[in-house]
């Protein structure tokens, strides 16, 4: 019996070493400084240490900011304070360790849900080799600590659900609320995880409504307490009530082109158009030819959009150039492309001068409202479903050297071996999804519906929220893979009898 126990712990330790080795390899051999957000987080961390101010500025005056929540910058600052300012290699190594701990937490949750060691081992193995989450140890982005905190709060919520003593349950709900609030300090959309836990508590405890209401209140209070210092700071410095970061990363009073964003939401359902439609805004010219035919309901609407982009591209009013461009973009209805074009590359002048003004934004708002009125089904149902599919069924190869789109196959870059890697990653996405679906069905059939409800809400609240936004970037769904693993392993645990499972 003792020998069997030693073998099990040896297997756990071996899987954890595999997880750590895989992540350290990625952190040290595939570092990625591409994301602009990473530079922002790093700059804030250096300013906190060197200038003692929470600012994104790289030179004086170091104006305070509220466009990023403090969790991740302070996490980086803590590492910089030990390893040296700007030492992103140390950040990546720490993230590799933290993500390995997340793998262990996933296995722990499965054990608490199933009490079967073989299922725990399956969960640990699936988490250890998951390439979709592992790659983020190589970036200066919030995904690694967000995954850790999301799984940790599921674990503590599990302890709270299973607690036989009321006082112990309340303590665990306080811990869960504090973890949820801390997670929001890393990513504001982590509040969706807190909502999933709260909904699970209320739905699964309808027969004990008063007790569930007390527990939910304690959980919510602990969650809100974490946000109080940041909210007070923003009120004192900026005279606004801002417990989270602004939705569009804007400072108080800063112009946000909400009309243009509305127009984009009426057609954008593919990440390939995120960069030309959104990240190009106020940095380079945007042309009507960059967008697919589905962005326009008629030739007249396309001409109106083209005219607005001409005003944006030429704010100084170069009438001759505008007239020439108008002639190029006009034409018969049948001239519009039948197939979706790839976003075009347009050579930019040496000194690009573009500006989205409130007047231009109002024009886009009117077109956007007309498009919504023309087909509310498309705007509220069809497009969110398409964006959800884009978010989920992606290769999830972001930040790997072979990152790219699987389709069309003829466009794969053979120099970086996309013809091998991208089908593999697409297949792995399908495998993890299929295992999660099977596990969820097995949990439902076996009566473990509270855990199914919790994992499903953790997944679909987040997926549903991002499906309503105008930027369907698949990296926002990487946090869902730990919950697919939970469903897969816990569901498979119901296939074997308790006696047999415990003997493994």
Give whole-number Cα distances, 273 to 91, 268, 287, 357, in Å.
Answer: 31, 7, 12, 22
Give whole-number Cα distances, 256 to 228, 269, 456, in Å.
Answer: 26, 21, 34
Question: What average pLDDT score do residues 37-66 get?
Answer: 94
User: Are the C-beta atoms of residues 54 and 245 closer than 8 Å to each other?
Assistant: no
17-27 pLDDT per residue, tens = 999 999 999 99
Q: Is the pLDDT of residue 130 over 90?
A: yes
Residue 503 φ/ψ, nearest 5 degrees = -80, -10
Residue 139 DSSP SS3: strand
- HSE-CB for 301 with a 13 A CA cutoff: 17
Q: Is the pLDDT of residue 416 over 70?
A: yes
Contacts of 124 (CB under 8 A, 6+ apart): 12, 15, 16, 19, 103, 104, 106, 107
User: Are the C-beta atoms of residues 243 and 231 closer than 8 Å to each other?
Assistant: yes
Question: What average pLDDT score do residues 385-395 get?
Answer: 94
Domain boundaries, the chain: 2-240+419-502, 258-374
User: What integer pLDDT is reported at residue 30 of this predicted model?
Assistant: 95
State in Å, rounded, how far the first CA of the chain is from the last one.
11
Q: What is the gyration radius of the CA atoms in the chain, in angstroms?
A: 25
User: What integer pLDDT is reported at residue 4 of this predicted model?
Assistant: 67
Candidate from 89-103, 211-225, 316-330 with smallest mean pLDDT: 316-330
Contacts of 429 (CB under 8 A, 6+ apart): 132, 392, 393, 394, 395, 396
Quickly state the pLDDT bin for 233 (edges 50, 70, 90): very high
Quickly state the pLDDT bin for 43 (edges 50, 70, 90): very high
How far is Cα 64 from Cα 138, in angstroms, rounded to an integer? Answer: 28
315-372 pLDDT per residue, tens = 876 544 444 444 444 444 444 444 455 555 555 554 468 999 999 999 999 999 999 9
Q: Is the pLDDT of residue 250 over 70?
A: yes
Query: What does the DSSP 8-state code read for residue 479?
Result: G
- Identify the CA nearest to 394 among candidates 425, 417, 433, 369: 425
**Greatest CA separation for the chain:** 87
464-498 pLDDT per residue, tens = 999 999 988 899 999 999 999 999 999 999 886 44
User: What integer pLDDT is reported at residue 494 of this predicted model?
Assistant: 87
Residue 32 DSSP SS3: strand
User: What integer pLDDT is reported at residue 322 of this predicted model?
Assistant: 47
């Amino acid at each position: 019996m003792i020998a069997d126990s030693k073998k099990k712990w040896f297997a756990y330790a071996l899987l954890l070493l595999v997880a750590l080795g895989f992540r350290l390899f990625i952190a040290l051999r595939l570092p990625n400084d591409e994301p602009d957000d990473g530079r922002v987080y790093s700059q804030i961390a250096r300013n906190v240490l060197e200038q003692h101010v929470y600012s994104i500025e790289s030179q004086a005056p170091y104006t305070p900011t509220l466009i990023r929540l403090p969790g991740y910058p302070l996490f980086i600052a803590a590492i910089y304070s030990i390893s040296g300012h700007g030492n992103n290699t140390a950040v990546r190594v720490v993230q590799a360790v933290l993500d390995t701990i997340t793998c262990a937490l996933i296995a722990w949750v499965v054990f608490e849900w199933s009490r079967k060691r073989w299922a725990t081992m399956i969960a640990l193995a699936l988490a250890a080799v998951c390439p979709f989450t592992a790659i983020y140890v190589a970036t200066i982005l919030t995904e690694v600590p967000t995954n850790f905190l999301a799984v940790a709060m599921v674990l503590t919520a599990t302890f709270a659900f299973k607690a036989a003593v009321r006082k112990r349950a309340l303590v665990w709900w306080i811990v869960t609320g504090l973890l949820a609030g801390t997670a929001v300090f890393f990513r504001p959309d982590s509040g969706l995880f807190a909502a999933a836990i709260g909904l699970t508590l209320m739905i699964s405890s309808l027969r004990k409504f008063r007790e569930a209401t007390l527990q939910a209140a304690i959980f919510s209070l602990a969650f809100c307490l974490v946000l109080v210092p940041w909210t007070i700071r923003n009120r004192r410095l900026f005279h606004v009530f801002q417990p989270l970061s602004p939705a569009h990363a804007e400072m108080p009073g800063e112009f946000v082109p909400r009309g243009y964003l509305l127009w984009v939401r009426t057609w954008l359902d593919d990440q390939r158009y995120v960069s030309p439609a959104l990240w190009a805004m106020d940095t380079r010219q945007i042309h009507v030819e960059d967008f697919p035919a589905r962005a326009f309901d008629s030739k007249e609407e396309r001409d109106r959009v083209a005219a607005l982009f001409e005003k944006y591209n030429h704010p100084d009013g170069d009438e001759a150039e505008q007239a020439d461009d108008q002639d190029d973009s006009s034409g018969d209805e049948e001239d519009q492309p039948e197939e979706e074009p790839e976003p075009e590359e347009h050579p930019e002048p040496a000194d690009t001068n573009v500006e989205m003004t409130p007047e231009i934004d109002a024009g886009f708002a009117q077109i956007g409202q007309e498009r919504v009125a023309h087909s509310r089904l498309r705007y509220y149902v069809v497009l969110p479903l398409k964006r959800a599919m884009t978010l989920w069924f992606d290769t999830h190869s972001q930040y790997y050297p072979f990152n790219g789109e699987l389709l069309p196959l003829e466009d794969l870059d053979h120099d970086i071996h996309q013809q091998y890697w991208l089908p593999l990653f697409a297949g792995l996405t399908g495998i993890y999804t299929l295992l999660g679906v099977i596990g969820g069905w097995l949990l439902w059939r076996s009566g473990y519906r509270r855990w199914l409800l919790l994992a499903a809400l953790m997944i679909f609240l987040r997926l549903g929220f991002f499906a309503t936004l105008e930027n369907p970037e698949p990296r926002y769904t990487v946090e869902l893979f730990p919950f697919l693993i939970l469903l897969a392993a816990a569901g498979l645990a119901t296939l074997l009898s308790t006696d047999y499972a415990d003997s493994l």
